[in-house]
Chains A and B, each alone.
Chain A
Amino acid sequence: AQKVTQAQTEISVVEKEDVTLDCVYETRDTTYYLFWYKQPPSGELVFLIRRNSFDEQNEISGRYSWNFQKSTSSFNFTITASQVVDSAVYFCALSEAQAGGSYIPTFGRGTSLIVHP
């Protein structure tokens, strides 16, 4: 069975601070995918990134970066120079192939990030 743990329930930072959101996963599959989503106060989840289990290269997109480490089963998300607009709930998710070939993600409980001006 797949499982995703986001141990940080809430993080509070001041604008311009760097912040890292932790994600630890469990899976018995060798082929799987990892994701991060952002849920702003409006409620709609926004897909941020997908990583497959064979690609451990870290990724950077503007102020966002992701660190995938299979050795520790972690897929951490760092926001550099945080801004108030980054305030949201962030979800990490994992998917592995189901019977029939479809992938259905399992989500962590989310980390609420509050960025103060």
Chain B
Amino acid sequence: SQTIHQWPATLVQPVGSPLSLECTVEGTSNPNLYWYRQAAGRGLQLLFYSVGIGQISSEVPQNLSASRPQDRQFILSSKKLLLSDSGFYLCAWPGTGDAGELFFGEGSRLTVL
């Protein structure tokens, strides 16, 4: 079966520290993958999406970067976290659909202190 997982589930990091959130998909090959951020009290903001290995599109200029080292792996990173990076990060993929419906991982809650 096709599933999506992300980790860690919860992370508390000091300002200026690095970040790495990982997302993997099982049961499919070379899917489109997406990183969204949900800040407190706000909607979902698309950060990055990837249509294949090494192919990353950035939607919002910011302190974060993404990489796609393998076709089923999508990594969200930062070299130096800011307080404003706090939020709930969600990885998603379209499943077998082709019209934009997305299926999400469990989410990673990041608190920057």
* Chain A residues at the B interface, C-beta cutoff of 8 Å: 6, 33, 35, 42-47, 50, 52, 91, 93, 95, 100, 102-110
| A100 smallest CB distance to B (angstroms) | 7
Describe A's contact surface by its main secondary structure. strand
Checking B43, B98, B103, B105 against A107 with a beta-carbon cut-off of 8 angstroms, the contacting residue is B43
- Which residue in chain B gives the minimum CB-CB distance to A93? B100
Classify chain B: how many residues form its interface, as a range: 20 to 34
Whether the Cβ atoms of B88 and A50 lie closer than 8 Å is: no
B99 is an interface residue with CB less than 8 A from chain A: yes
- The answer to whether B100 touches A44, judged by C-beta atoms less than 8 angstroms apart, is no
Within 8 A of A (CB), among B43-68: 43-44, 46, 49, 51
Q: Are A35 and B100 in contact (CB under 8 A)?
A: yes
Q: A91-B44, A93-B100, A102-B32 are in contact. Are A44 and B49 (CB under 8 A)?
A: no
User: Is residue B74 within 8 Å, beta carbon to beta carbon, of the partner chain?
Assistant: no
